[in-house]
Amino acid sequence: MRKYFPYGDKNILYKTSINSGSVLEYALAFTSAALDKHYSKWSVTPKTGFINITTSKDFYRIFSGLQFGYLEETILDHSKNHELLGDSVAWAGCTIVYLLGQQLDFELFDFSYQFLNIAEVENATVLHSISSDRSKNASSLQKQYAINARMERTAAPEGGSKGARPESSARENDAYFVRRKESLRARYIYGFIFFKTNLFAWFVRDYGHKFPSILHYISVCSMKDNDCFHEGGVLRVSFGCFIYFLLMSVTTYGAKKLHDVRNSWQSRCWALKLVLYLASVMVSFLFPADFIQLYGEVARLGAGIFLLLQLVSVIHFIAWCDNRWMPDSQTKQCGLLGLFLCTAFNIATFGGIVLICLIYARDASCIFNIFLVTWTAVLAKIMMVVSLHSKVNRGLLSSSIMGSYIVFLCWSSIQSEPPIEKCNMQKEMAEKFDWTNIISLLIAICAIVMATFSTGIDSKAFQFRKDEEQSEDDIPYKYDFFHLVFAIGAMHFAMLFINWQQDHPTRKWSIDVGWASTWVKIVNEWFAASLYLWKLVSPVLIHDKSLDHEDPVRLANGSV
C-alpha cells in the first residue's frame, strides 16, 4: 500500500471514492489494470480457434484446480483453511476470473461443480433408499411390537407384576421354539410312513399272492380275480393311505398358531395316529372290488393333479434359484455360484440330449425316440431364446434348469417304454434279474417319496398373497396342504405301480413301465415347457395390454 501511497496519506483514496465512486469500483479498476500485465499469460487465444482443455494455461483452469484442492483440505480439516481465510480465496479467484473475462469458460469447465452435481444426485438417491428402508423397518418394528405386546398380555398372569413379564415372554419363546422343532420333525415321520406304505404296496403286488391264508376270511378277497393282490392289492393299500392322510388334512385344517390344539395333534399323539393308520389300511381291504375299481379310475385324475402340483412347485423352485443366485445390480450380488450352476445345467441339458441319442436313438428305425429327443432339444432351445429376449430378460439359469428337467422327463419317458421294444435298453435287463433291479426299484420309490415330500412342504408356491410375513408363533408350514398332497400322492404311487392301467399284468421289480406311463411323462414334459414359457411371456403380454388400454384413456383425457 505504501508503494502507491508513499506518504501514507490514505485520505486521498477515501476522498476520491466519496467524490467519484465507491471503494469497490476503484479496487476493481486497480486490479484490472494490474492484470493487464499478465493477460497474455493467463488468457491466451488458441491458435487453432478451439478451446484448449488439456494444455490450457488460462487462469480459470488454474483456479478450478486450486479450488478443488482447497475444498478437499477444508473437508478433511475444517479448522485448517476456512477459519483462517474464510471465503476470501473464493472471492479473490472469482474476481480475477471476472476481470479476465473467463467467467463463461469457468462455468463450462469447472470440474468441482460437476463433482458437486454428482454428489447431490447420489445423496438424493441414498436419502431416498434410506427413507424407504426406514419406512419398512418402522412397519416391521410396529408389527413386532404388536406381537410382543400380545405375547406379554397372554403370558402375564392376572394381577402379576410387570417385572415378571420378560420372564414369561422368554418362557413363551422357548415353548414356541420347542413346538416348531417338533412340527418340523413330524413331517419327516410322515414321509417315512409314506415310504413304508410304498414298500408295502410293492410287496402286496409282487408277493402278496404267496400269503393267501392271511386274508382267506375276507369275503371280498378272491384268489381267482386277485382282488386283494397284484393291481387290486396296490389300489387297496393306496386307498388306505389316501384315507389316513385325508383324515389328517381334515383334522389339521385351519391350524395357524403353534399354541393351537391342532398343532399338538400334528406333532404328537403318535400311538393314536399309528392305530389310525393301521385301521385305515385294514379297512381298505373290506371294500368290494367294484368300489376299488372305481377308486382306480378316480386315482388317475388324482395322479394327474399331483403331477400338476409337482410341476408348479418345480417352477417355483427354479424362480427361487434365479432370484437367489443370479447377479443383481440393486443388491450388488455377485452371482458367481449362479453362473457356475448355469454352465453346469446347460452342459447337463445338451450333454443329456447327446447321450439319449447315442443310447436310445442309435438306429434309424427308432423313429419315435428320435422324435422325442429332437423335440426336447427344440423345446430347450426355445426356452433359452425366450428367456434371453430383451423384453423378458430372465437370464440363463432358470431356462438351463428347466431344460435339464425336461431332458430328464424325456429320458424317463423312454425308460418307461415296454421292454419288448428293440430301442429300449430294458429289453436286456428284463431277461435277467440281479441287484440292479432292486436298486432301481428303491431309487424309484425314494424319488416318489421325495417328490411328494418336497411338494407338500412348498405351500408358499400356491399362495395368492406372497407378502404375508410370518410371526414367531405361526406354524412353519401348512398342515392341511401337506397332508392333502400326501393323500393325492397315494393315488400317484398307485398309478406308477400298476403302470396307469387296471387289469394289466406287471413285471416284478418294475415300476412305471408301459405305453400309458410313457405318454403320461411325454405329456408332462410338453406341459412343463408350455407352463414355463407362459410364466416368462405372461408379464410382458399383460404389461403391453395394460399400455394399450391406457393409451386411449390418455388420448381421451388430452382431447378433453
pLDDT tens, residue by residue, 144-161 = 555 555 555 444 444 444
CB 230 within 8 A of CB 461: no
Beta-carbon contacts of residue 169 (< 8 Å; ≥ 6 apart)? 148, 151, 152, 155
List the one residue out of 376, 349, 508, 389 whose CA is nearest residue 438.
508
List phi, psi (to 5°) of 257.
Answer: -115, 150
Q: Which grid coordinates belong to 25? A: 469500483
Least confident of 151-165, 264-278, 350-364: 151-165
Report the C-alpha dihedral over residues 18, 23, 26, 29, rounded to 10 degrees: -150
pLDDT at 491: 93
Tell me, what DSSP letter sits at residue 37? G
List phi, psi (to 5°) of 470.
Answer: -95, 130
Strand segments (E) across 111-265: none
Tell me, what DSSP letter sits at residue 509? T
pLDDT at 168 over 80: no
List the one residue out of 372, 355, 357 whose CA is nearest residue 518.
372
SS (H, E, C) 421-479: CCCCCHHHHHCCCCHHHHHHHHHHHHHHHHHHHHHHHCHHHHCCCCCCCCCCCECCCCH
* CA 303 to each of CA 82, 167, 413: distance values in angstroms, whole numbers, following the listed order: 80, 51, 16
pLDDT tens, residue by residue, 462-479 = 665 555 566 777 888 889
pLDDT at 157: 45
Helix pair angle (165-207, 479-497), 10° resolution: 10
Q: What is the mean pLDDT of residues 237-264?
A: 91
Side-chain half-sphere exposure of 230, counting CA atoms within 13 A: 16
Tell me, what DSSP letter sits at residue 166? H
- Calpha distance 172→155 (Å, rounded): 7
Q: What is the mean pLDDT of residues 52-66?
A: 69
Amino acid at 84: L
Q: What is the mean pLDDT of residues 184-189?
A: 90
Tell me, what DSSP letter sits at residue 393? -
Which comes out higher in pLDDT, residue 518 or 72? 518
Q: Domain locations in the chain? A: 20-78+85-130, 185-462+471-543
Q: What is the mean pLDDT of residues 261-280?
A: 91
List the one residue out of 179, 175, 131, 495 whose CA is nearest residue 306.
495
List the one residue out of 521, 307, 536 whose CA is nearest residue 399.
536
CB 528 within 8 A of CB 406: yes
Helix pair angle (230-251, 270-284), 10° resolution: 140
- Calpha distance 173→167 (Å, rounded): 10
Average pLDDT, the chain: 75
* CA 323 to each of CA 192, 302, 309, 316: distance values in angstroms, whole numbers, following the listed order: 32, 32, 21, 11
pLDDT at 337: 78
CB 471 within 8 A of CB 200: no
Q: What is the mean pLDDT of residues 314-331?
A: 75
Which comes out higher in pLDDT, residue 478 or 326? 478
Least confident of 215-224, 242-251, 369-378: 215-224
pLDDT tens, residue by residue, 500-532 = 887 777 777 778 788 888 899 999 999 999 999
pLDDT tens, residue by residue, 104-116 = 777 777 766 666 6
pLDDT at 81 over 70: no
